[in-house]
C-alpha cells in the first residue's frame, strides 16, 4: 500500500527565511514525517532555497501554479521551465480560479504544459458554497474534469477541495467526501478505463489540521491531503504527519 500523501500548499504564507527555518526543522525531525509522502509547495521565489537546504530525498517539491507559456513576454508570470527540478505542479487551485480568473480552459492549457514537461500534476477541483446549495456539485465537477486529455499518459493527482471548506474550518462529513470522491472515480472510469481511474491519486483539501486528520483518514478513497494554513506551521504540520499510521 502507498503511503498517505501530505501535500503542503504554503500559498504566500512563508517568506524565504521562514521557508528555510521550516526546512531546517524538517531536517532535524525528519523521522516525524517518515510515515507520509511529503510534497512541499513553497512560494516560487523560495523553491530554490528550499531545494538547497532540504536534506531528505524522500520529500518532494512542487510549484503552486505555472503559466501556460514556457517563455516570452509575460510580465510577472512564472514558467514551469524556470524552476528546473520540481516534481509537482498544482493546477486549478480555487484561489487561482476565483481571484485570478483561471477558467477551465486556461486550466486545461496549464495542465497540458505541466504534462509536456513530465512534471506530476495536482489538479484541484471542487464546488463553491453557492454551487453546493444549488445541488450543482456533480455538474461543477463534471465541467472541471472534462478538461482532462483524451488519453491520460501522465501521472495525475486530483485534489477535491470544496471551496467552502478552504480556510474556513467547515469540514464536510466523511460521507459527503466519500460520495464526491466516488463520483470523481466513476467519472474517471467513464472518461478512461477502470485501470487508469485506479491509478489516479485522490487527495482531500480544506481545513485539514491535526484535529481533523484522524477522522478524515477513515474515508477509504482518500490517498492523502492538500493542506494550506496548517502546513505552513511546522508544529501543526508535524502533528498531522505523526497521526499517519503505516
Ligand atoms: P486550508 O487550505 O488547509 O488552509 O483550508 C487548503 C488549500 O487551499 O489547499
Looking from the CA of residue 11, the nearest atom of ligand 1 is 8
Query: Which three cell numbers mark 219?
Result: 474515508
- C-alpha 88/C-alpha 9 separation (Å) is 12
For the whole prediction, is pTM greater than 0.95? yes
CB atoms within 10 A of CB 141: 20
CATH 3.20.20.70 matches 4-242? yes
Instruction: Per-residue pLDDT tens, the chain, 246 aa: give them.
Output: 689 999 999 999 999 999 999 999 999 999 999 999 999 999 999 999 999 999 999 999 999 999 999 999 999 999 999 886 899 999 999 999 999 999 999 999 999 999 999 999 999 999 999 999 999 999 999 999 999 999 999 999 999 999 999 999 999 999 999 999 999 999 999 999 999 999 999 999 999 999 999 999 999 999 999 999 999 999 999 999 999 988
The distance of Cα 133 from the centroid of its chain, to the nearest Å, equals 25
Indicate which residue's Cα is closest to atom 6 of ligand 1: 228
* Sequence-distant (≥ 6) Cβ neighbours of residue 49 within 8 angstroms: 16, 19, 20
Which residues form ligand 1's pocket by a CB distance below 6 Å? Answer: 9, 161, 166-167, 205-208, 226-230
| Catalytic-role residue among 117, 130, 161, 235 | 161
HSE-CB for 212 with a 13 A CA cutoff: 19
What is the structure's pLDDT at 85? 84
Amino acid at each position: 500500500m502507498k503511503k498517505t500523501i501530505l501535500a503542503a500548499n504554503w500559498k504566500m504564507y512563508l517568506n524565504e527565511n521562514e521557508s528555510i527555518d521550516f526546512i531546517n526543522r524538517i531536517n532535524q525531525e525528519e523521522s516525524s514525517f517518515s510515515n507520509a509522502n511529503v510534497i512541499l509547495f513553497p512560494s516560487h521565489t523560495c523553491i530554490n532555497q528550499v531545494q538547497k537546504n532540504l536534506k531528505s530525498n524522500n520529500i518532494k517539491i512542487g510549484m503552486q501554479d505555472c503559466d501556460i507559456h514556457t517563455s516570452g513576454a509575460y510580465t510577472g508570470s512564472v514558467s514551469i521551465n524556470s524552476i528546473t527540478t520540481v516534481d509537482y505542479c498544482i493546477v486549478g487551485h480555487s484561489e487561482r480560479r476565483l481571484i485570478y480568473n483561471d477558467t477551465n480552459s486556461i486550466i486545461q492549457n496549464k495542465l497540458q504544459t505541466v504534462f509536456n514537461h513530465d512534471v506530476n500534476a495536482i489538479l484541484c477541483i471542487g464546488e463553491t458554497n453557492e454551487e453546493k446549495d444549488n445541488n450543482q456539485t456533480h455538474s461543477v465537477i463534471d465541467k472541471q474534469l472534462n478538461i482532462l486529455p483524451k488519453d491520460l499518459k501522465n501521472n495525475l493527482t486530483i485534489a477535491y477541495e470544496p471551496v467552502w471548506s478552504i480556510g474556513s474550518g467547515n469540514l464536510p462529513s466523511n460521507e459527503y467526501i466519500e460520495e464526491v470522491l466516488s463520483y470523481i472515480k466513476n467519472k474517471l472510469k467513464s472518461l478512461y478505463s477502470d485501470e487508469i481511474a485506479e491509478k489516479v491519486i485522490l487527495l482531500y483539501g480544506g481545513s485539514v489540521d491535526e484535529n481533523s486528520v484522524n477522522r478524515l483518514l477513515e474515508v477509504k478513497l482518500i490517498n492523502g491531503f492538500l493542506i494550506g494554513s496548517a502546513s505552513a506551521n511546522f508544529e501543526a504540520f508535524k502533528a498531522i504527519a505523526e497521526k499517519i499510521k503505516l
